[in-house]
Chain A
Amino acid sequence: MSAAVESRASSSVRSSLTLNLLRLRTFIALLAVVIYFSFAAPNFLTAANIVLMSKHVAQNAFLAIGMTFVIITGGIDLSVGSIVGLCAMVAGGLILHGVDLHNGYTLFFSIPEIMVVILVLGVLVGLINGLLITRLNVAPFIATLGSLYIARGAALLVSDGATFPNLEGNAAFGTTGYAFLGAGTIFHLPVSIWLLIIVALAAAYLARWTPLGRHIFAVGGNERAAALSGIRVNRVKLFVYMFSGFCAAIVGLIISSELLAAHPATGTTFELNAIAAAVLGGTSMSGGRGTIGGTIIGAFVIGILSDGLVMMGVSSFWQMVIKGVVIIAAVVVDQAQRKLQQRVALQQMAQLA
């Protein structure tokens, strides 16, 4: 996120070296987790296991990418888990039952069409979140808490709470091939991993090299100054919630495709994992600071931690405790470093005076 301006003075090289070490904190944690489990859990470092873990991580990583932008603007999106569920259910419904036109005909979409419809649905829910927050001045926490319930309720209403099983589709309606998204591979890598790479690179590019990305940081860092610099704050906010909804829709598609079934409880509490990944990756809850790379690493730390603990046979109750401790520890370390840096800077200023 820092501007690409080459540093010249040697003192700043030294301080940026320290800063880089600080920034690599999450990466060091990831390495530690990987190394620990390679010894502690047999089969941990096999290719099959790594691919499997990556697919698990991808689910949280997509949501965390969207969440990172939202948090950078100073907001929060609690609705993403429910959007995952709603999107999975609507996708399942469209594949199995199509759209009943109430005149004796039923309309079936092809799989690509369904994917587009679902992505648009996710963006629309995000748009509603954004409009509530910008036009009606609802606090982001409340607005997205409300849509969390609404989207989850809608997901249950789609099937009256039932699961849509066997989403193989029907060749006669052209709805086969849904499994490719969740189970297919390109060059030996799962499709969902390719998708994650594409979305992550696009998001990182957006954050760093585009005016919109810069505006997202500016809005989170100081909304008043951003507005006075001519930045259309409301549009920026609308975008981040729509993008978050878009990411959630992708996850809804991937999960229902992997399972070839859509369950209305899909994605419950996923929003919390996404927030945790973003925070672990150095995103500040008060806005203005965060990176996509950090968030991806944060998602990997959380994903690998839980998968590794499962492989070691640690009880799921203890897993939750450990996850909580890791998240809090990450933020505590983050705060301590910031305080230290600030104190050093102040002392230097006092000496100058």
Chain B
Amino acid sequence: MTDAAARDDSDVVLRLEGVTKVYSGTVAVKQADFAVRRGAVNVLVGENGAGKSTLVKMIAGVERPTAGRILLDGEPVAFADTRDAMAHGIGMVFQELNLFGNLTVAENIFVNREIMRHGHIDHAEQERQTEALMERLQTGVNPRATVDDLMIGQQQLVEIAKTVARNARILIMDEPTSALSAPEVEILFRVITDLKAKGVAIVYISHRLEEMMRIGDYITVLRDGRVTGARRMAEVDLHWIVHQMIGSDAKDFSTPGVHGFGGEALRAEDICLPRISGGYAVDHVSLAVRAGEIVGVYGLMGAGRSEFLECVMGRHPLASGRIFVDDKPVRERDVGGRIARGLALIPEDRQRDGLVPILSVAENLTMASLSKLANFFHIPARREADAVQREVHDLSIKVADPALPVSSLSGGNQQKVVIGKALMTAPKVLLMDEPSRGIDIGAKGDVFRIMRSLAAQGIGILFVTSDLDEVIALSDRVAVMSHGRLTALFDRAEATEAKIVAASSIGHGPAVAPQRKELSA
């Protein structure tokens, strides 16, 4: 697992050994080893749900490992909280911004370690120091500005400045560039180079491969909570990274069934969803799914894929456009009405949107179809139990007793419960948002098989994924979205990785700024 080049230990400042993190229901990180070197950018990479964020949260003291140990300068440490980790010189820039929008930039930078004078906060000194810091980072942000008034990229820089200001010797950045424009990325990279020269160890999580190839010194790849490779960046190429991330033999997509397609089960025309910050989150998207067809929607984060599904499902009152099920217009605007018309959504975040964790497996399964099960207002126990038992069997949900709380199941089985809940409404079209996210390999195979067999039964499936292999292997047609727009639609035969990736980056500035900028500097 560890390669010869990575075994030189002299500059390792922090090391994780056999670290495991278990959440109720899922194992996020399994037996992971990870070394952080000073004066270097340590890249951490993996697909969604591979456990990157969980791993760094343990380093930053947000989460505590269930098993294994953390060595700082060779000494075992256990951080009580982020404050404790910060005291040991570990700072983290979170993916979701941890800023107080109602406070000024200076107040945010010095939150919880305010500069005091005569028993009150010395605002002038805080602002002076912030000004100096912003000067160094070349952000041009006014220390007295309220954070809510800044643009999202500027907020990200404030978040970074906040951690830099604490003189962290280990700085964790979780997807720091996801909200930055190209010039802002350049500023960030300059800051990183500057910090590296000062001996700071940087842990860098990113999805953008070319970006990490450019900035990284060491790379560690995670897949399904396990470390699958750790090397010097100089020794690896793109192919190696992708191979470690995805694994050649790991995926079981099951073979496509041979069956024809029916008529159009779903047709969405001209779907628009305005964005609060202006523009469209979903920009005039039209797409059709035939009965028995699986259509995959690929795109980068923020491409508007989930929002598109949510518009179809009637979750956004501001959405416009026309929707047809079996060629009949859908006029119902609420979720309940659309479920009745034969649409069903498997949400991306099953904990937040899919399940009621404290209710039982059975109650979660029947939640959306109670009116179907009930005689007028009475739910016959026998009928409900039979329906639940049938669904548990059909989807092979592993549960000892459907009366157990759904939160006691593993991630994959929880996902099956969410799918079962949707299927019990007898949908004609199933909308699946990242159906394989955060579940283990075996359960992924099960979910893919379920999708195939549902399609064979004549259900139209529209699913969203960030996984290239998945979209190519599962889809009868591949739709690609970028910046809220549908940028391409490929048939199975013509859907290649290169074409899909190209279509998904239409309208994006290059992640890495043009070279001539550096030349002119």
Binding site for B on A (CB under 8 A): 1-9, 11-12, 16, 209-212, 214-215, 217-218, 221-222, 224-232, 288-289, 342, 345-346, 349-350, 352-353
Please provide the 5 A-B residue pairs with the shortest distance between their CB atoms, ordered closest to farther: A221-B356, A3-B362, A230-B336, A211-B370, A4-B381
Complex: how many Å from CA A225 to CA B389?
22
Point out the residues of chain B lying under 8 angstroms from A232, CB to CB: 334, 336
**Bound-state Cα–Cα, A52 to B334, Å:** 51
Could you jot down 27 A-B contacts, CB within 8 Å? A2-B363, A3-B362, A3-B381, A4-B385, A9-B401, A12-B403, A12-B404, A16-B401, A209-B378, A210-B377, A214-B366, A214-B367, A221-B356, A222-B355, A224-B352, A224-B353, A225-B352, A225-B354, A228-B315, A229-B367, A230-B336, A230-B337, A230-B368, A346-B24, A349-B27, A353-B22, A353-B30
Interface size class, chain B: 35 or more
**B339 in contact with A353 (CB, 8 Å):** no
By the criterion CB–CB under 8 Å, are B403 and A228 in contact? no
Verify B368–A342 contact, CB threshold 8 A.
no
Q: Are the CB atoms of B357 and A215 closer together than 8 Å?
A: no
B347 interface residue per 8 A CB criterion: yes
Per-position binary interface string of chain B over residues 358-375, scored 1 when its CB falls under 8 Å from any chain A CB and 0 otherwise: 111011001110110110
Residues of B within 8 A of A215 (CB): 370
Do A3 and B385 have beta carbons less than 8 Å apart? yes
Cβ of B337: which chain A residues have Cβ within 8 Å of it? Answer: 230
**373-425 of chain B: CB within 8 A of chain A:** 373-374, 377-379, 381, 384-385, 388-389, 400-404, 408, 421, 425
Q: Are B377 and A212 in contact (CB under 8 A)?
A: yes
Chain A residues with CB below 8 A from B86, complex form = none
A210 pairs with B379, CB closer than 8 A: yes
Known A-B contacts A3-B388, A12-B404, A210-B377; A349 and B24 likewise in contact (beta carbons under 8 Å): yes
B25 adjacent to chain A (CB < 8 Å): yes
How far, in angstroms, from A88 to B359 measured CA to CA in the complex?
Answer: 39
Report yes or no: B359 in contact with A218, Cβ–Cβ below 8 A. Answer: yes
Please judge, given known A-B contacts A6-B385, A217-B363, A218-B356, whether A229 and B402 are in contact too, CB under 8 Å.
no
Contacts of B24 in A (CB 8 A): 342, 345-346, 349
List which B38-63 residues lie within 8 A (CB) of chain A: none
Q: Is B450 an interface residue (CB 8 A)?
A: no
Q: Report the minimal beta-carbon distance from A240 to chain B, rounded to whole angstroms.
A: 16
Min CB distance A137 to B, Å, is: 14
A221 contacts B359, C-beta separation under 8 Å? yes
Q: Chain B residues with Cβ under 8 A from A12's Cβ?
A: 400-401, 403-404
- B313 sits at the interface (CB 8 A): yes
Q: Which chain B residues lie closer than 8 Å to A350 at the CB level?
A: 20, 22, 27, 66-67
B191 at the interface (CB under 8 A from A): no
Rounded to whole angstroms, the CA-CA distance of A289 and B360 in the bound complex is 11
B335 CB-CB contact with A under 8 Å? yes
Q: Which of A4, A218, A222, A230 contacts B335 (CB 8 A)?
A: A230
Q: Is B195 an interface residue (CB 8 A)?
A: no
Asked if residues A209 and B379 are in contact (CB atoms below 8 Å), the reply is: yes
A16 to B403: give the CA distance in the assembly, Å.
10
Query: In whole angstroms, what is the CA distance A224 to B385 when docked?
Result: 25
Contacts of B266 in A (CB 8 A): none
Which among A12, A214, A288 has the greatest number of chain B C-beta atoms within 10 A?
A214
| Chain A residue, CB-CB nearest to B25 | A349
Interface of chain B, main secondary structure? mixed
Question: B345: CB under 8 A from chain A?
Answer: yes
17 other A-B residue contacts (CB within 8 Å) besides A4-B381, A346-B22, A350-B66: A1-B359, A4-B385, A5-B402, A12-B400, A12-B401, A211-B371, A211-B373, A214-B363, A218-B356, A218-B359, A218-B363, A227-B335, A230-B336, A288-B358, A350-B20, A350-B67, A353-B22
Asked whether, in the complex, the Cβ of B401 is within 8 Å of the Cβ of A225, the reply is no
Which residues on B sit within 8 Å (CB–CB) of A345?
24, 408
Residues in B with CB closer than 8 Å to A5 are 362, 384-385, 388-389, 401-403
A228 to B354, CA, bound (A): 8
- Is B388 a contact of A353 with CB atoms below 8 Å? no
Output the least CB separation between B413 and chain A (Å). 12
Which residues of chain B come closer than 8 Å to A7, judged between CB atoms?
A: 400-401, 403
- Known contacts A217-B356, A288-B356, A349-B24; A3/B403 CB under 8 A: yes
Which residues of the other chain, B, contact A222 by a CB distance below 8 angstroms? 352, 355-357
A3 touches B400 (CB 8 A): no
A311 CB → nearest B CB, Å: 40
Nearest Cβ distance between residue A341 and chain B, in whole angstroms? Answer: 10
A225 to B313, CA, bound (A): 13
Q: Which of A3, A7, A16 has the most CB of B within 10 A?
A: A3
Contact of B360 among A3, A211, A229, A353 (CB under 8 A): A3
A249 to B521, CA, bound (A): 79
User: Contact between B22 and A349 (Cβ–Cβ < 8 Å)?
Assistant: yes
In the bound assembly, the distance between CA atoms of A218 and B358 in angstroms comes to: 9
Which residues from chain B contact A229 at a C-beta distance below 8 Å? 335, 339, 367-368, 421
Complex: A1 Cα to B359 Cα, angstroms: 9
